[in-house]
Amino acid sequence: MKQRQLISFDWAMKRLLRSKANFEILEGFLSELLHDEVHILEILESESNQESPRDKHNRVDLKVKNGQGELILIEIQHEREADYLQRLLYGTAKVITEHLAEGEPYSSVVKAISVSILYFDLGVGTDYIYRGTTHFRGLHTNDELGLSAGQKALFQRDSVTALFPEYYLIKVNRFDDIARDTLDEWIYFLKHEEIRDEFTARGLGKAKEQLDILKLPKTERQSYEWYKDDLHYQASMVESTYGMGKWEGKQEGRQEGRQEGRQEGRQEGAATLLLKLLNRKFGPLAESVTAQVMSADREQIETWSENFVSAHSLDEVFAS
C-alpha cells in the first residue's frame, strides 16, 4: 500500500514544530540522534525566524533549549556551501557568546549542540552521519585530559569533551534507504518524506499524524507547494550556473566565447525557470510578461525570483 505523502521536515520546522503541541516530534528526532531523553523547554529566536528572502529557500534553522539548559541548533541546508564547516563554527561561537550575560563567569558558558541536516555532499566520506567533539590528548603519553572532582561539581559535567560544542552532520542523500535502527527510520523520513507503517522511532508516530499534507488548510497546502517549487527552482539555478555554463563553455574555442556561453546559458536557464514558476502560480502569462522576463539581465531575474517567494500577484513579483 502506498504511504501517504507527508510534509517535509524543513517546512514543518518553519510552520509546525515551533508549536509546543508538536514538541514531541522534535524531541523524538533529537532523542534518537543524541541517544538521550531530550525534553524541549522552549524554541528560541533563530535566523530563519526573520524570513529573509534567501533563507526562505536556502536553509531553515531552529534553536532549542532542552531540559538541561543546553542549546541545540538544528539547521537544514539545501544549497552547497564550500565554507559550510566554518559557518558552523561561527554559528556555535555566536550562540555561546549571545547566551553569556555580561559579568557572568566562564563557568556559565552554555553547552551547544549543532545538528546539520544536509541535502548536499559535504566533504569526503562514506558515512551519512558524522559526529564531531573536542578531546585533549597528551603529546607524550597520549592520555586524555580529564576534569578534577571540583571541576565536575562546578560544571556539572563528567568530561572535558562534554564542555565543548558537539557537531552532528547528517548527509541525507548518502543514506542507502536501509533502516537498520530507529535513527535510520528518521533519516529515511528526512530523505523521502515518508514514514513506513513498521517504523517505531520516537516521534515518528506523532509526525505521521501531524505532517499529513491532506490535513493542511487549503492556503497552507498552496504555500507548501510554492515552497517546494522554489526549492526545485533553486536547485535548477545551481545546476544551470555550474552545469550548463560549463557545458556551453566547452563548446567555444576561445576564452571570450566560453565566457559568453556561460553567461547566456545561466541567464536563459534562470529566465525559463522563473517563467515556469510564474505560470504555475498565477496561470497563463501574457506575451508581454514572457518577453519582459526573457529580455531581462541576470541581476533583474534574481530580484524577481526573490520577490516570487512571497508574492501574491504578478505586480508584487515585478515590483522594484
Q: pLDDT at position 67, please?
A: 87
Name residues of the chain where pLDDT drops below 50: 1-2, 48-58, 238-239, 241-266
**Does residue 49 sit in the same domain as residue 168?**
yes
**Does residue 150 sit in the same domain as residue 289?**
no
**Does residue 162 sit in the same domain as residue 298?**
no
Residue 1 lies in a domain: no
Q: pLDDT at position 263, please?
A: 47
Are 239 and 246 in contact by the 8 Å Cβ rule? The answer is: no
Residue 115 lies in a domain: yes
The helix (H) or strand (E) run that includes residue 239 is helix 218-239
**Does residue 77 sit in the same domain as residue 98?**
yes
- 59-66/71-77 β-pairing: antiparallel
Residue 3 lies in a domain: no
The helix (H) or strand (E) run that includes residue 12 is helix 9-15
* Chain segment 212-224, per-residue pLDDT in tens: 765 566 666 666 6
CA-CA distance, 208 to 215, in Å (whole number)?
Answer: 11
**Does residue 160 sit in the same domain as residue 30?**
yes
Residue 78 lies in a domain: yes
Residue 132 lies in a domain: yes
Q: Which has the closest alpha carbon to 213: 57, 8, 2?
A: 8
Residue 4 lies in a domain: no
Q: pLDDT at position 237, please?
A: 52
Q: Which of 197, 215, 233 is the last residue of a domain?
A: 215
Residue 47 lies in a domain: yes
**Does residue 186 sit in the same domain as residue 224?**
no
Number of domains in the chain: 2
**Does residue 201 sit in the same domain as residue 237?**
no
Are 165 and 92 in contact by the 8 Å Cβ rule? The answer is: yes
Domain span at residue 308 reads 218-317
Q: Which of 168, 193, 215 is the last residue of a domain?
A: 215
Q: pLDDT at position 264, please?
A: 45
Q: Which of 215, 236, 271 is the last residue of a domain?
A: 215
**Does residue 130 sit in the same domain as residue 187?**
yes
Residue 231 lies in a domain: yes
**Does residue 129 sit in the same domain as residue 274?**
no
**Does residue 209 sit in the same domain as residue 310?**
no
**Does residue 183 sit in the same domain as residue 272?**
no
Q: Which has the closest alpha carbon to 36: 89, 72, 88?
A: 72
**Does residue 277 sit in the same domain as residue 155?**
no
